[in-house]
Structure 1
Amino acid sequence: MHKFTFIGLFLIFLSWQSLAQQGDVQVNLGFDAGITLNDYYQNQFPAGFGGSIKGLMGASTSGQLSLTGNYLYFPIDAPLPTGENLSLHLIPVLAGYRLNFQPFFLEPQLGGAVFINRFKNAPTTYSESQLEFAFAAELGYAMESLELSLRYQHAGPSPFHLGLLGIRAAYILTGR
């Protein structure tokens, strides 16, 4: 319950700050790839890939409010009998504040992530999902219409949390 209260207060703070924002709005689409860092996921789902969309709104001359949505797919790294499949799907939504140090940026983020475990055993499919608190820190480089970044992302409670080291290449659609 404390996590949701903290997230709610953080989002209210971001909304309040955005009312007084000045500057441009930016949207970018990206390709994400990552490797898991903790043993629980590293043995079964060592690497994943997916896509993301990020919106940025100028809040000051050196910072921007951000809202990021990702989808990451982690296939199992183990042989399964024919017709069976096990995968992890991660859908984080994170709000943050980007500090711009042209051309570099640092972006801490807070939010939530939906974990979906999907098991397919022909002809049936079973899925289980849960919502968990998530945070991330992204360090990147922005060019005219391209962003490249490295991110550490953490979601879920210990000992079954997902620590992820990810890379992101994004095309800036609008702004700048």
Structure 2
Amino acid sequence: MTVKMKKLLFACLCTAAFSTGIYAQKGDININAGVDIALPTGDFGEVYNMGFGATVKGLYGISENGQIGLTLGYIRFGLKDEYDENLSGSLGIIPVFAVYRHHFGNLYVEPQIGFSSNKVKLETETTGWGSFGGSASETSFGYAAGIGYMLGDIDLSARYQGLSQGGSGMGFLAVRAAYNFSL
């Protein structure tokens, strides 16, 4: 993550923390826990299968229609078998994103920005030598843009999430079903 991205993330998190302390009483305070199914796009989709995971959001009301908060989670993508028959592996993504959610009745839009901790694990089978493996981790800039619908305490949403991994960008489309706990 570059210095410029770190400064932007820090400014977003400070704004979120400052706003929460002043305006939390204006709206709801929620914990939102859900499961995610993710479909990799572009070159990322040529290497990895569909991903599965879970995310938790803390949302703090700043107005009747707006909430800010933090998203934490884990999504795992398995390496496609047809990518290399002697290679198996996975990519695990842990997003930590600042969130703004704006409600239009039951419908909402939700931009997110932050960073992702990404861990690649690979193992290769070599004839006569057994298997060899390794892993590598990287922290990268991440973002997401989503839309959702609240059915009482049930939260259904879809988003595009992007991140930079190894100097190149990659992304996925995800759907999420969650339960909203009011505090």
> In terms of mean alpha carbon deviation, does 72-81 or 4-13 score higher?
72-81
The corresponding residue for 1:106 is 109
Structure 2 CA distance for partners of 1:157 and 1:120, relative to 1, 3 Å: closer
Higher mean C-alpha deviation, range 155-164 or range 19-28: 155-164
Task: Pick the structure with more helix per residue.
Answer: 2
Gaps of 5+ in 1: none
Moved >2 Å (runs of 4+): 120-125, 157-160
What SS is found at the alignment partner of 1:43? helix
Shift of 1:16: 1.2
Identity over aligned pairs, percent: 31
**Using the alignment, how far apart are the partners of 1:45 and 1:174 within structure 2?**
36
- Matched with 2:99 is 96
C-alpha distance in structure 2 between counterparts of 1:56 and 1:159, whole Å: 31
Q: Distance in 2 between matches of 1:68 and 1:110?
A: 10
Moved more, 70-79 or 97-106: 70-79
* Partner secondary structure for residue 107 of structure 1: strand
Go from structure 1 to structure 2 and tell me whether the alpha carbon gap of 1:126 and 1:168 turns closer, same or farther (over 3 Å shift).
same
Q: What is the TM-score of this pair, normalised by structure 2? A: 0.87
Q: How much does 1:120 deviate?
A: 3.1
Match of 1:156 among 150, 160, 164: 164
Matched with 1:34 is: 38
Render the CA deviation track for 1:119-167: whole Å, top value 9, x for unaligned: 1357664210100001111100011120000101111069721211110
Q: Distance in 2 between matches of 1:69 and 1:111?
A: 10
Q: RMSD value over aligned CA atoms?
A: 1.8
Q: Secondary structure at the match of 1:20?
A: helix
Match of 2:59 among 56, 61, 76: 56
Q: Which residue of the partner structure matches residue 172 of structure 1?
A: 180
How far apart are the structure 2 equivalents of 1:148 and 1:67?
18
Rg larger for: 2
- Of residues 71-80 and 59-68 in structure 1, the stretch that sits farther from structure 2 once superposed is 71-80
Paired residues, number = 172
Does the C-alpha gap of structure 1 residues 17 and 68 become closer, same or farther in structure 2, counting only changes over 3 Å?
Answer: same
Residue-by-residue CA offset, 1:65-95 (whole Å, 9 max, x unaligned): 12111211101111534xx631111111111
Query: 1:3: which partner in 2?
Result: 5
Equivalent position of 1:24 in the other structure: 28
Find the counterpart in structure 2 of residue 140 from structure 1. 148
User: Which letter maps to 1:72?
Assistant: I
